[in-house]
Amino acid sequence: MDQPETIAAVATPVGTGGIGVVRVSGPAALTIAQRVFIHPGGQSCTALQSHRVYYGFVVDGAGERVDEALLCYMRQPRSYTCEDVIEVSCHGGMFTTQRVLEAVLAQGARIAEPGEFTKRAFLHGRLDLTQAEAVIDVINARTLASHRAAVQQLDGALSRYLRTLRETLLQVSMYLEAGIDFPEEDLELVPTSTLVEQLETVAEQCRQALATFARGRVMRDGLATAIIGRPNVGKSSLLNALLGRDRAIVSPHPGTTRDTIEDALDIDGILVRIIDTAGLRVSTDAIEQEGVRRAREAMARAELLLVVFDGSTALTADDHLVLAETAGKPCVLVRNKGDLPAAWTQGDLARPDIPCLEVSALAGTGFEALECTLRQQAVGQVSLGQDAVLLTQERHRRSLDLAWRDVQAAAQGLRQGTPLEFVAFDVTDALQHIADILGESCAGEVLERIFSRFCIGK
């Protein structure tokens, strides 16, 4: 195989900062370090020891000092990529990091693609694919829940769980193969009922993990929530009160909100992506009609609707239109303007099965209960980090679901006396789906799709 190329990138964000890090990985990393880095006295650094930090200067090809810096050399395989790695911590700032990078490139490295460092860590077996995916999630996490879920996955919680399933399946598979190869021996090494039991246990474990996906996905990506209601009930006021700042324009004129406005709310570690919409009503105004169309679009995309009513005026035909349009979707009903005398009771909404909360967006009352209900709708009663294993990504869910079906089919086949060859096929397929999640047999384009979501330098 060809020597891999040596790659380099600025690993810290673009812009000014206290420190900027230029990272280099590959067989030429050490030679490059020796050419671009000098000790304070000007001597070149011929004898760098691994995992030690050196103080000195970065020089360009002409010998000009580019910056004062710290250098760390990490000899393979004890590095992020399992290759020789050098990291230069120089002064932050577009120009400095760029010049240091250029000095490194001039010595034979090439610019790294997004995610290429992590891809190399994966290809060298330091991380499996679920862990590599977790690296992006750790970087992108915006709330405690998403961060915890990502750190847990990076730590290998999902991988360990999958490997345990695989261990059992491999054992079953071994006994099945023995039964296929030596049928006449009638060797009941293990009774069929035990194999069925083992398969059923694996199926149950798959089912339990799959059941965490709804929650895991919300922990990772947040819950898309749309505020819906007729004009003037206080939707924009509610958004502002939830966010604690004046994000949307509030006015006594119905039809003020024309476009959808999206923002994010962190409720006790859970990300709620909240969308304020134009009031639903029949209108002849072209712009308002477009606003209403967008409101309906947001409603269709949302996973939860906050359906808002004005508690201080009698319910109108538009309110009933809103009730009809939101029926059957996950909803929380909000009776706003609780600071004013009530003009109707909750029973008038005729939706006894759905939580209905009274708030005043103006006075700021009722929000604790509302946030509590929102969080409850998002992830249920669990506290963060309670699950032993948490599925957060559609890719994992899809493959595990396929594995689950195969394992169930295998168990049923064994119970019904299906020829062992067919049972073994199902087990092999299940093993394949598990291997897919771990990235052991992924096609190049799958890997490309995953790693292209990374930032440069990671």
Residue ranges binding ligand GDP (CB under 6 A) = 229, 231-237, 250-252, 256-257, 279, 336-337, 339-340, 360-362
Closest contact distance (angstroms) between CB of 320 and ligand GDP is 16
Closest to ligand GDP by CB, 100 vs 361, is: 361
Closest contact distance (angstroms) between CB of 245 and Mg ion is 15
Closest contact distance (angstroms) between CB of 232 and Mg ion is 8
Closest contact distance (angstroms) between CB of 362 and ligand GDP is 3
- 456 Cβ neighbours under 8 A, 6+ residues apart: 9, 10, 112, 113, 114
Closest to ligand GDP by CB, 236 vs 393, is: 236
Closest contact distance (angstroms) between CB of 309 and ligand GDP is 10
Sign of the torsion formed by the C-alpha atoms of 351, 352, 357 and 360:
positive
Whether 265 contacts 274, CB under 8 Å: yes
Q: CA 5 → CA 2, 102, 112, distances in Å?
A: 9, 16, 10
* Composition of the chain by helix, strand, coil, percent to 5: 45, 15, 35
Closest to Mg ion by CB, 21 vs 265, is: 265
Cα atoms in the 13 Å half-sphere on the side-chain side of 358: 12
Closest to ligand GDP by CB, 216 vs 234, is: 234
Q: Residue 252: name its binding partner from ligand GDP, Mg ion, none (Cβ under 5 to 8 Å by kind).
A: ligand GDP
Residue of the chain from 131, 257, 360, 399 that contacts Mg ion (CB under 5 A): 257
Q: Which stretch binds Mg ion (CB under 5 A): 75-83, 257-265, 292-300, 407-415?
A: 257-265
Q: Residues for the chain: how many in total?
A: 458
String of DSSP letters for 97-133: HHHHHHHHHHTT-EEPPTTHHHHHHHHTTSS-HHHHH
Whether 82 contacts 124, CB under 8 Å: yes
Closest to ligand GDP by CB, 227 vs 390, is: 227
Closest to ligand GDP by CB, 217 vs 337, is: 337
Task: Write out the binding residues for Mg ion, residues 317-346 only, by CB under 5 A.
Answer: none
Closest contact distance (angstroms) between CB of 374 and ligand GDP is 18
Q: Residue 277: name its binding partner from ligand GDP, Mg ion, none (Cβ under 5 to 8 Å by kind).
A: none
Extract the tokens encoding 97: 């990091």
List the one residue out of 135, 162, 199, 216 whose CA is nearest residue 433. Answer: 162
Binding mask 216-235 for Mg ion (x = CB under 5 A): -------------------x
Whether 232 contacts 252, CB under 8 Å: yes
Taking the C-alpha atoms of residue 192 and residue 202, their distance in angstroms, rounded to an integer, is 15
Taking the C-alpha atoms of residue 204 and residue 404, their distance in angstroms, rounded to an integer, is 8
Output the residue with the shortest Cβ distance to Mg ion.
257
Output the residue with the shortest Cβ distance to ligand GDP.
234
DSSP element (H, E) containing 7: strand 7-10
∠ CA 157-163-169, rounded to 5°: 145
Residue of the chain from 12, 118, 236, 312 that contacts Mg ion (CB under 5 A): 236
Closest contact distance (angstroms) between CB of 229 and ligand GDP is 6
Residue 131 makes contact with Mg ion by CB under 5 A: no
Closest to ligand GDP by CB, 252 vs 352, is: 252
Closest contact distance (angstroms) between CB of 279 and Mg ion is 6
Q: Residue 362: name its binding partner from Mg ion, ligand GDP, none (Cβ under 5 to 8 Å by kind).
A: ligand GDP
Taking the C-alpha atoms of residue 260 and residue 279, their distance in angstroms, rounded to an integer, is 10
Binding residues for Mg ion (CB under 5 A): 235-236, 257
